[in-house]
Structure 1
């Protein structure tokens, strides 16, 4: 298959002039300070999907750091909810490891109506300090080292810790009331973050075989593992597949093409999966098809329904799966959960031999499906059945009948239709701080992750 990797080498010639201090020519220092940003700006003028929104060059600060410079020139259409889609990677980092020492916790900061904060664990990474000490999904950490959690200290306590801590935790027991527990963390460390977080095969009470897979990131380096997990899950010929993308913010477009090909019907092979629509300066559209050559080690999935679980954290490459399979699967594809994030653009990699420390990922194209649909920036992709997780209260085990997003899926598998009342409508409010009111989610670590649709080696 054709390789898609954009490399842009700086070729422009700076105008010759000199900066002098006490007769010393310091023009080289000046050029060194502005060269990377000059290259970025010139690259954007030609390749940026939203090049017409670029500010005039004479009003820009080329002495800014590359990331700050990018923020200052980026179009409003290249961002959403505080997330800038074009981005700078200063070094090549492993996307399947944390980039700094951590406990391996993904969670939500919640503010109770009394003003107290607590941190709800969404999940812990396998073989992480958090999993080793026994923390699990649904635990509520309400104090750290006997200190209250605040909006200013929670990042240090949970997301970027620098030392060990003692957590005071509330955990729901089988009677529906919280037990108070205490955990002392090991030292934070670099943690593996596998793309395939969880798989399970099970049979419903009605005899339907189900393959459930929670997929948290589209990573090129883990494509073999993805195919292996699907091969294992499909070996029992499941009737239904549940693809859990609720916490998946995206990744590599080539990996989305692989997963789409696994899930596409056999008669879709060779047909359009998606198109990349570039700006009018480049004046091109690139077509990518479901490619059976990608299926070495795994076969096309055959199923009655594909249930895709989504939230507002489901973004970018994740949205490709839904949007590009919909024309081929029709009613067999059922989206359950919340509207997705709404990122319908892709980023291309530009590098420069003069600035080898920079990976410049620039938004260069819209991603449309075979029906030329890509207009979901504003509202995201809407679910066929709406349901949400209670991030402030009880969270059931992922992929089970206690999981609020799985409840309507399991009902539909057994009955062929959805329940008239959603779990969130009948949910009993959890009262952690002696209040009957609803706590508010202030932040969650998944929402803070970058939303990526990266174009590279196809």
Structure 2
């Protein structure tokens, strides 16, 4: 005979399990009621929570008093207990900042019932997608290139990636993923006090993060530092002009390095308003007072040079060569001086002209000022290396590029030779390199001014010449330490252009040396941060004066770095981001020609 009551219980249990609830049979000796006791509830077996976090509220009927508990801290039960009748289960779900989806089990136990009711709270499934998914095609293109060409590509296939992110964040998660593997890509990036400031690898769109030499700007065309001319807070405050870009409104207005600006739009510069006034000054369309500054025993004297001059806002092209001149020393030696701000192929013809002039004037020594040069094209660096090294080194290796293990195993290597047009980038060669032989100086030594900004193709010049046993005498502070370079790929998608520059090779000289990730230490160390600037390439400028003195006499100057506030009477205030960007706006890196796809 069939037990209809028992049969009915089985059917009911099966139906509830389908909804995500569970009951168990009751032991005849146990007074505890079978199942969970919950027959009406708003939750499901699996409940999705927003990745950004939220508070979940579910109503249910409780046949008796109850308690609730979560097995994950990120899913906090706000109502840990309740009473019989209509009840609310509330949970606070924290944002999911991880790469993977996650789930928590929340158990609701009714007093007197055998089993808790367990519901699942889920935040994402598999790899969590947190973006809008607008750039999936570009992200796949980026992943393909990084997987094949990135210098540290071995563990990229194992990285969990969210393809829904915007293109810049997608690249960042690849780079971060590689870094998580024992800091494999340590050399890809600028470091400061043990912290990575940024990666060198980058991707740009029609609205790039930075613009390169040769591109158009629309501002005043100068770089400034907010400065106090003395050790006391009530000493004169203003803006020291650090450089003026040739062909800009500031140059046309007569502004030059070493000018001291005390008023902007007739408002005196103070420690309280310098940020706002400085950004206005950099943008242009302002009136300023220009002053000259002289120091006597550490005390500054300010002389008004040009009152109320207008600095307009204008469009201009930032050149690579800011200044070239020949200085005749007291002993008759002729010293060439070149202020070179970026290695850019568009200015290689002008570079040849500068060295033709140096050659015509019969210079004995050469000073190359790279203090604000953070890199550029490898081909342009090879041109400058050829102009220095000359015919005695023609055909010798200036740079050897080494790639990731897969490309190396396939026999791929890139070589750039002094005076030879053939190179890994252009099928027909680059004739400016071979032309540079006729304009070259055949120097045995060269004096280079460098700072923390000096990087990549600038450091490539130092390393490449030293590989040829040319004596490179470095003046200033330790350089940035970028011993690797980038190849570029470009893709058009709709109305947008994307350019990807991943680090893909190490830079070795003819001796196989590439271990300068900590930068090149100067032969004469001098930090002029708190030294009031003079004109480039003159004895009035501290770093130029050291290099020119050394070049003229052949003897390393004996005085040591000071640079203290007490001895100079100058204090530099914390710069705004806009002030900083004027010194590093050119896109650095040892870069090759972009490949269109």
Check whether TM > 0.5. Answer: yes
2:416 counterpart (260, 274, 288): 288
Query: Residues of 1 paired with 2:525 and 2:243: CA distance?
Result: 22
Q: Which residue of 2 aligns with 1:80?
A: 190
1:343-379 deviations in Å (ceiling 9; x for gaps):
111111112354661111111111111111111112x
Q: CA deviation at 1:220?
A: 0.8
Q: Which moved more, 1:150-159 or 1:339-348?
A: 150-159
Q: Which residue of 2 aligns with 1:313?
A: 453
1:352 counterpart (475, 491, 516): 491
1:422 matched to 2:560? The reply is yes
User: Where do residues 134-153 of structure 1 align in structure 2 (5 Å cutoff)?
Assistant: 134-145=254-265, 146=267, 148=270, 153=276
Q: Which residue of 2 aligns with 1:14?
A: none
Q: Structure 1's 109 and 251: CA in aligned 2 closer, same or farther, altered over 3 A? A: farther
Q: TM-score if structure 1 supplies the norm length?
A: 0.81
User: Where do residues 193-342 of structure 1 align in structure 2 (5 Å cutoff)?
Assistant: 193-283=318-408, 284-293=412-421, 294-296=433-435, 298-303=438-443, 305-330=445-470, 332-342=471-481
Q: Structure 1's 73 and 292: CA in aligned 2 closer, same or farther, altered over 3 A? A: closer
Q: Which moved more, 1:360-369 or 1:87-96?
A: 87-96
Tell me, which stretches of 5 or more residues in structure 2 are unaligned?
1-131, 180-185, 192-196, 422-432
1:66 counterpart (157, 162, 167): 167
Q: Structure 1's 45 and 240: CA in aligned 2 closer, same or farther, altered over 3 A? A: same
1:186-207 deviations in Å (ceiling 9; x for gaps):
4312222221111111321111
Q: CA deviation at 1:304?
A: 5.1
2:280 counterpart (123, 137, 157): 157
1:172 matched to 2:293? The reply is yes
Does the 8 Å contact 2:481/2:520 carry over to 1? yes
Q: Which residue of 1 aligns with 2:13?
A: none
Q: Which moved more, 1:196-205 or 1:289-298?
A: 289-298
1:387 matched to 2:531? The reply is no
Q: CA deviation at 1:142?
A: 4.6
Q: Which residue of 2 aligns with 1:409?
A: 547
Q: CA deviation at 1:260?
A: 0.7
1:204-246 deviations in Å (ceiling 9; x for gaps):
1111111111111111111111111111111122111111111
Q: CA deviation at 1:80?
A: 0.7
1:125 counterpart (235, 245, 248): 245
Query: Residues of 2 paired with 1:168 and 1:68: CA distance?
Result: 44
Give the length in aligned residue pairs. 419
Does the 8 Å contact 2:214/2:346 carry over to 1? no
1:25-61 deviations in Å (ceiling 9; x for gaps):
xxxxx8764111121122212211122464855442x
Q: TM-score if structure 2 supplies the norm length?
A: 0.64
Query: Residues of 1 paired with 2:217 and 2:508: CA distance?
Result: 35
Q: CA deviation at 1:171?
A: 2.9
Query: Residues of 1 paired with 2:507 and 2:319: CA distance?
Result: 26
Which secondary structure state, in structure 2, belongs to the residue aligned with residue 400 of structure 1?
A: coil
Q: CA deviation at 1:431?
A: 3.8
Which secondary structure state, in structure 2, belongs to the residue aligned with residue 420 of structure 1?
A: coil
Tell me, which stretches of 5 or more residues in structure 1 are unaligned?
1-29, 433-437
Q: CA deviation at 1:430?
A: 4.5
Q: Which is bigger in relative contact order (C-alpha 8 A, separation at least 6)?
A: 1
Which secondary structure state, in structure 2, belongs to the residue aligned with residue 120 of structure 1?
A: strand
Q: CA deviation at 1:141?
A: 3.3
1:50 counterpart (152, 164, 171): 152
Query: Residues of 2 paired with 1:126 and 1:403: CA distance?
Result: 19
Greater Rg, structure 1 or structure 2? 2
Q: Which moved more, 1:144-153 or 1:447-456?
A: 144-153
* Higher share in strand: 2
Query: Residues of 2 paired with 1:232 and 1:96: CA distance?
Result: 23
Q: Which residue of 1 aligns with 2:62?
A: none
